[in-house]
Amino acid sequence: MPRNEILSIKCSERQVGHSPPNLALEESKKIVQAIYSYIEPLFNRSQLRRIHLLKQQEMRPELNRNPPNHKNLEALKQIEARLSSTKRVYKNSIRAKLNGTTSQKAMNPVISGFYHVIVNKVKELYSKLPNKEDRVIIELNNELDPTDSHGLFTLITPTFFFYLECSITNQYRIEYQFHNCPVEEEIQQLINAFSMRSYSTEVVNQPDYPAFFQRCLQVQPDRFIHQL
């Protein structure tokens, strides 16, 4: 799916200061240690809220239940052709490693690392949802897409969108969107706990999110679609 069909970028990002490399790395290590000691208790909270949201969710039509979600074969063919293209664009992440500021070179790997920790935690949360349809996810490793200069990774669930990219100014940043998400509070806590608020933006790129998710299921190759 073309990038502009998935999302329109509208991010705000914090300007990062120029710290010496070793100091920036040491500060990053301290942040990681503090956050890991804090993160686990988050999953013991908000259980009543989760039950309430799940009950609300049961009242809406379930995604992909009726009718069967048929593939858009033409769009699927185009995506496969794009993924196998030999005409590779220059990746912003490569430029960032070479030409980023000292702070960007130190913090971009930290942002990426925290993003993927959150992805794994989100998958853990979704795996516990009672409805099978709500446990369908799409994972895209955009770094492997030879035609995508910005994207690094995308997680798409029936109720949550989570995207990591590298901007043309060498800054890693995150975009996310919720839609009646039963674990929104826990995910928001994760974003706060990992200090990712300054590097992320909540967007509303897909007003009809359920239809967007169904389109993604129709056009994405099955190897990117998983049942938790």
In this structure, is residue 11 part of a structural domain?
no
- Phi then psi for residue 218, to 5 deg, are -75, -30
Question: Sign of dihedral through CA atoms 16, 17, 20, 25?
Answer: negative
**CA dist., res. 159 & res. 164, Å (int):** 17
| The pTM of the whole model exceeds 0.75 | no
Q: Is 9 part of any domain?
A: no
Rounded Cα gap, residues 92 and 137, in angstroms: 26
Tell me how far apart the alpha carbons of residues 151 and 105 are, in angstroms, rounded to a whole number.
Answer: 17
Burial class (CB in 10 A: 0-12, 13-18, 19+), 24: buried
**Domain enclosing residue 50, as ranges:** 20-60+72-227
In a domain, 13, yes or no: no
Cβ 170 vs Cβ 100: under 8 Å = yes
Residue 144 lies in a domain: yes
- In a domain? residue 206: yes
Instruction: Please give the pLDDT value at position 19.
Output: 45
Q: Report the run of H or E that residue 136 belongs to, with start and end.
A: strand 136-140
Tens-digit pLDDT string for the chain (228 aa): 444 444 433 333 333 344 455 555 565 655 656 555 555 555 454 444 554 454 444 434 444 443 445 888 898 899 999 998 999 999 999 999 999 999 999 999 999 999 999 999 999 999 999 999 999 999 999 999 999 999 999 999 999 999 999 999 999 999 999 999 999 999 999 999 988 888 999 998 889 999 999 999 999 999 999 999
The reply to whether 66 falls in a domain is no
Per the domain annotation, does 115 fall within a domain? Answer: yes
